[in-house]
Amino acid sequence: MTGPRFTKLAQTLPATVPFVGPEAQERARGEPFSARLGANENVFGPSPKAIAAMRDASSDIWMYGDPESHDLRYALAAFHNVGPQNIVVGEGIDGLLGYLARLLIEPGDAVVTSNGAYPTFNYHVAGYGGILHKVPYFNDAEDLPALLKKAGEVGAKLVYFANPDNPMGSWHTGGDIAAELDALPNGCVLLLDEAYVELAPPGTAVPIDINDARVIRMRTFSKGYGMAGARVGYALGQADFIRAFEKIRNHFGLNRAAQAGALTALQDQAWLEQTVAKVTASRDMLSEIAAKYELAALPSATNFVAIDCGRDDTYAKLILEGLVKRGIFVRMPFVAPQNRCIRVSCGPARHMALFDAALEEVLAEIG
């Protein structure tokens, strides 16, 4: 009795989990968190109209979703002033990152990212046998010139660049990024992860010719639109590039209610504006709380704030563990020097107050 013959690549891969979910931590703790501020979820939630659309669609869940996500894709095309052939909708940016890695990466291919940027991107690249080359952050921000230089040196097929960045919340202007594009090596694709861009100052989104096949942009309904649990993201790019996803994607992978919810959320831009205002207020609260304890909140263009705890990762981890023990779910960057920080999602005032009180206790405890 023998078992499966896994591919050479599958045999070498670890059974990695990019992130442990808060539910697993709650099960280990034996009680739920009182504030869920660790996964950059949008605690303010989606448009009530989007919730209503998902509730209504629950009754129709016996039907598969439209494999073309036609209505959502056309609405997104109109919204971005591009063609529907420039958009592919997928199971969150995570799902689309997997598809993109699959389209481009063969074992041994070079890929460039920042040291400490999105782990799920790294997971997918490693999962297709890509070799990751990592460039340090510069001033707590992803360093596009250094990334592109490295891409040239290693002959990278793909460069990952998040704007705004996770986990630091830093950002560049879209104009500055566009001006760097001339330095993109031939045959290298720039992946612009714009998951948080709806929450960033105007001008952060990169103005790129949709027919430029050197760049692919990813957006999501998980952050600004508050629908992380729905799993809807999309990629924007040149038509032939986008069409390649049709070769490999799970055509029936989208949840039908999620498609309806995303369409309605997109149509409720007034709610998004309210969300941006709430997030901005919460960022200010997080800065004030940090300052109260002589910690430094970093500027953020996202729905979270990296708080510099002022010492090393051991100290930041102590604070994080103290917060978690007190029922406040937060996370921290994985890599030095960013891991001198903890990362706290925005949320309503009562969650900010819970965080404040817990932080005060933790700091008093560890001295």
Between residue 222 and residue 251, which ones bind its own copies under the rule CB under 8 A?
222, 226-231, 238, 240-241, 243-244, 246-248, 250-251
Binding window for its own copies (CB under 8 A); candidates: 47-55, 140-148, 164-172, 350-358? 47-55
Element (H, E) at 8: helix 8-12
Contacts with its own copies by CB under 8 A: the residue count is: 91
Residues 259-288 binding its own copies (CB under 8 A) are 261
Contact 344, 332 (CB under 8 A): no
> How many angstroms separate the CA atoms of 92 and 258, rounded?
11
106 binds its own copies (CB under 8 A): yes
Rg (CA), the chain: 21
Kindly list the distances between the CA atom of residue 241 and the CA atoms of 34, 66, 175, 302, in Å, as whole numbers in the listed order: 44, 21, 23, 28
Nearest distance from residue 207's CB to its own copies, in Å? 16
Nearest distance from residue 310's CB to its own copies, in Å? 30
Q: Which is nearer to its own copies, 172 or 256 (CB)?
A: 256
Nearest distance from residue 172's CB to its own copies, in Å? 22
Residues 10-29 binding its own copies (CB under 8 A) are 10, 13-21, 23-24, 27
Contacts of 224 (CB under 8 A, 6+ apart): 42, 196, 197, 198, 199, 272, 275, 276, 303
38 binds its own copies (CB under 8 A): no
Question: What are residue 232's phi and psi, to 5 degrees?
Answer: -135, 120
> How many angstroms separate the CA atoms of 59 and 257, rounded?
9
Residues 61-80 binding its own copies (CB under 8 A) are 61-68, 70
Contact 168, 118 (CB under 8 A): no
Q: Which is nearer to its own copies, 47 or 287 (CB)?
A: 47
Binding mask 320-359 for its own copies (x = CB under 8 A): ----------------------------------------
Q: Which is nearer to its own copies, 152 or 337 (CB)?
A: 152
- Candidates 37, 57, 177, 297; binder of its own copies (CB under 8 A) is 57
Beta carbons within 10 angstroms of residue 143's beta carbon: 17
Nearest distance from residue 237's CB to its own copies, in Å? 9
Binding mask 146-175 for its own copies (x = CB under 8 A): -----------x------------------
Binding mask 80-99 for its own copies (x = CB under 8 A): -----------xx-xx--x-
8 binds its own copies (CB under 8 A): yes
Residue 293: Cβ-neighbour burial (10 angstroms; 0-12, 13-18, 19+): middle
Question: What are residue 35's phi and psi, to 5 degrees?
Answer: -140, 130
Residue with tokens 């995570």: 94
| Greatest Cα-to-Cα distance within the chain, rounded to the nearest angstrom | 65
Amino acid of residue 88:
V
CA 282 to chain centre: 19
Residue 145: Cβ-neighbour burial (10 angstroms; 0-12, 13-18, 19+): exposed
Q: Which is nearer to its own copies, 129 or 322 (CB)?
A: 129
Residues 304-323 binding its own copies (CB under 8 A) are none
Binding window for its own copies (CB under 8 A); candidates: 37-45, 194-202, 291-299, 315-323? 37-45
Residues 180-209 binding its own copies (CB under 8 A) are 186-187, 189
- Candidates 3, 108, 207, 367; binder of its own copies (CB under 8 A) is 3
Residue 14: Cβ-neighbour burial (10 angstroms; 0-12, 13-18, 19+): exposed
